[in-house]
Structure 1
Amino acid sequence: MPPTKFSPKLHHEATVIRSAIQSRLLVLTLILLWRTLLSSYDTSASINPDCLSTIPSQKNVLFHSLGLAIESSIVWDSVYFVRIAECGYEYEQIYAFFPLLPLCMSFLSRTVLAPLVPVIGQRAVLGLSGYVINNIGFVFAAVYLYRLSVVILKDQEAAVRASVLFCFNPASIFYSSIYSETLFALFSVGGLYHLISGKDVIAVLWFALSGFSRSNGVLNAGYFCFQTMHQAYDAVFLRKRPFLALQAVVGGALRCICIFVPFIAFQAYGYNNLCLGHLPSDMRPWCKARVPLLYNYIQSHYWGVGFLRYFQVKQLPNFLLASPILSLALCSIVHYAKSKPEKFFSLGFRAPPEDKDSAAVLFSLAAYSSRSQENRTRKQVNKDGPALLPEEHKVATRFLSFSPPLYWFASYIMKSRGTGKRWGCIVWAYSAAYILLGSLLFSNFYPFT
């Protein structure tokens, strides 16, 4: 029988999968290396008080030192995700962390990895579950980015370059740690791919899951808003059928509501746990608000997040740290505006029908750029629960790291005539430097985003 010939697309997809696996192995190896060679700045990661519930934690394990090594790798926000998976939402502060990742960790630790609990301990198994979920999920996220890129760019070589760049992106440390970045990227990019493929129902489900992993997942509703806006415009002005416009608006509104449901449901869950059954004098201030939003209160009260609060002279180093990704984002927007000014400034209304959904993806960059600031925290444990100490850092690198247009633009400039090789060296040097720096600082409890 003649040897089976794989299509170029399957060959390229295999390349992306191989690159995603290699990049995760690289990051995990660097984490182990730096933690072996250096001492952590903050050693509080090993503190593990029992849950407030009556469930006792398991102390006698077979390989205690191995379990302790895994536990000590749980730093920064990973502490909260593991704590939620183990104990649930015990304190008001930890409602800032959405439940999809902790639920997945809890499920995996109780099923596939359950036999490891007597070997390394419950908390170590939960941490290991987080590592497994995020590193495997990253491979699927890279595959979906490649498939989306093929549809949008209509160039498989460019799609491969963009996807490989994503595999070695500057925020790689967070995609291999116990953070929500991987699941958010997977469901956001996967939702985009299904949307572009015409599978609106599946896209809604994926976008809703992205909102179940991070608060800014609700912004994915913007794709359906954009789509609905164009459908209504076409129905009224091109097809002269206002009833179709009404159908489009109602359908788009229902899809957006479905994407908002996880966020609203989680806020309602917090309100039920923290507000109901308490006397008015004992209620937290946010419980008495006309629209009680726990997430907004936590951001403001515990982390000091507010309009323009971050813009201070002392934050200049953090702005410098974020400047490469912000510059790349700005350049990509300017380049697109210059190359296709009519489509850009008309918001795609003058684009051919087959380019309508593609325009929605290209306009996504600006939406996510507006959310490129968040505060991070460090954990301390005391008798009143984990206190959140505000440590503000510019996290544009993380928030923009999953945005497809960044990698499409980087892929484009790397093949530009004359300057492509130089830009390629700059882009790869930037990614390599941030992977090395991130794995060194983050894994040893130094601030990095």
Structure 2
Amino acid sequence: IAEAGYEYEQFHAFFPLVPAVGRAVSIWVVQPICAAAGQPLSPRVSWAVAAVLVSNVSHVVACVLLLWLTERVLAVPAGRGTSGSSRAASKAAARRLAVTAATLFAITPAGVFASAAYTESLFAALTFGGLLLVERARSLVVEATAAERAGSWAGALGFASAGALVLAAATLARSNGATHAGYLGYWALEAAACVLGPVLLVPASVS
């Protein structure tokens, strides 16, 4: 696909992002470096090298993003009635679990697919990156007080929109990226509950 595009009907089983990124890396990175080193490669070989390079770099990025995402999700937020020492202990525990999760993700036996010219690594990196942005949007709304929430909507919508774009890009790598819409739907429902919950509770308290 990187070489000739969607030349045959059976090629349509594969999504375009990885071939497109691999082709760009081949043209702008691999071929110039090899030419400068006096070892020019044929286009097909350079595209293969670029695809492996993209997969390995994406796998490293995915491990780092998974660590950040896990640590952020598991840590107890500030302002929940917990003491500073409790929050520090929670943060340390979340950090240990995040490091464990990222390490296991890095050394999984299925890692052969992460280092070869497959879509898994780039898909994982985009998925974890998008979820990290959506989690940031969630924290700006859900973990804020009512007074803080009024000024946090612009930032929350910005992070949510950026997360949606990144998750949409993941869908260009693998078709199961379409299920990422569920994360955005959950964020929207949780944000709506934060806004509408107090409004709905007022009549109930009055009655």
Shift in Å at residue 171 of structure 1? Answer: 1.3
Q: Of residues 11, 18, 21 in structure 2, which corresponds to 1:94? A: 11
Answer yes or no: is 1:85 the counterpart of 2:2. Answer: yes
Shift in Å at residue 234 of structure 1? Answer: 4.3
1-structure distance, mates of 2:198, 2:10: 51
2-structure distance, mates of 1:209, 1:188: 9
Equivalent position SS for 2:200: coil
Match of 1:231 in 2: 191
Match of 2:63 in 1: 142
1-structure distance, mates of 2:30, 2:197: 58
Equivalent position SS for 2:3: helix
1-structure distance, mates of 2:199, 2:54: 47
2-structure distance, mates of 1:230, 1:112: 43
Answer yes or no: is 1:187 the counterpart of 2:108. Answer: no
Match of 2:100 in 1: 161
Tell whether the 8 Å contact from 2:31 to 2:41 is kept in structure 1 after alignment.
no
1-structure distance, mates of 2:73, 2:55: 26
Query: What one-letter code is carried by the residue in structure 2 that aligns with 1:136?
Result: V
Shift in Å at residue 214 of structure 1? Answer: 0.8
Query: What one-letter code is carried by the residue in structure 2 that aligns with 1:129?
Result: A
1-structure distance, mates of 2:199, 2:13: 46
In the TM superposition, 1:183-222 aligns within 5 A as 183-198=122-137, 199-222=159-182
Tell whether the 8 Å contact from 2:31 to 2:40 is kept in structure 1 after alignment.
no
2-structure distance, mates of 1:213, 1:194: 19
Tell whether the 8 Å contact from 2:56 to 2:114 is kept in structure 1 after alignment.
yes
Answer yes or no: is 1:133 the counterpart of 2:54. Answer: yes
2-structure distance, mates of 1:236, 1:194: 23
Query: What one-letter code is carried by the residue in structure 2 that aligns with 1:144?
Result: L
Higher strand share: 1
Query: What one-letter code is carried by the residue in structure 2 that aligns with 1:228?
Result: A
1-structure distance, mates of 2:160, 2:22: 28
Match of 1:109 in 2: 26
Query: What one-letter code is carried by the residue in structure 1 that aligns with 2:126?
Result: F
1-structure distance, mates of 2:163, 2:189: 17
Q: Which has the larger radius of gyration?
A: 1
Shift in Å at residue 113 of structure 1? Answer: 1.3
Shift in Å at residue 87 of structure 1? Answer: 0.6
Query: What one-letter code is carried by the residue in structure 2 that aligns with 1:91?
Result: Y
2-structure distance, mates of 1:239, 1:138: 45
Structure 1 residues 5-27: Cα deviation after superposition (integer angstroms, max 9, x where no partner)? xxxxxxxxxxxxxxxxxxxxxxx
Match of 1:410 in 2: none
Answer yes or no: is 1:172 the counterpart of 2:111. Answer: yes
Q: TM-score, normalised by structure 2?
A: 0.71
Tell whether the 8 Å contact from 2:66 to 2:128 is kept in structure 1 after alignment.
yes
Shift in Å at residue 164 of structure 1? Answer: 0.5
Shift in Å at residue 237 of structure 1? Answer: 4.4
Query: What one-letter code is carried by the residue in structure 2 that aligns with 1:200?
Result: A
Q: Alignment RMSD, CA only?
A: 1.7
Match of 1:425 in 2: none
Equivalent position SS for 2:117: coil
1-structure distance, mates of 2:47, 2:122: 16
2-structure distance, mates of 1:174, 1:225: 30
Q: TM-score, normalised by structure 1?
A: 0.34
2-structure distance, mates of 1:229, 1:201: 15
Equivalent position SS for 1:87: coil
Shift in Å at residue 170 of structure 1? Answer: 2.7
Match of 2:140 in 1: none
Equivalent position SS for 2:108: coil
**Structure 1: 5+ residue stretches without partners:** 1-83, 242-449
Match of 2:205 in 1: none
Query: What one-letter code is carried by the residue in structure 2 that aligns with 1:124?
Result: V
Equivalent position SS for 2:7: coil
2-structure distance, mates of 1:192, 1:120: 38
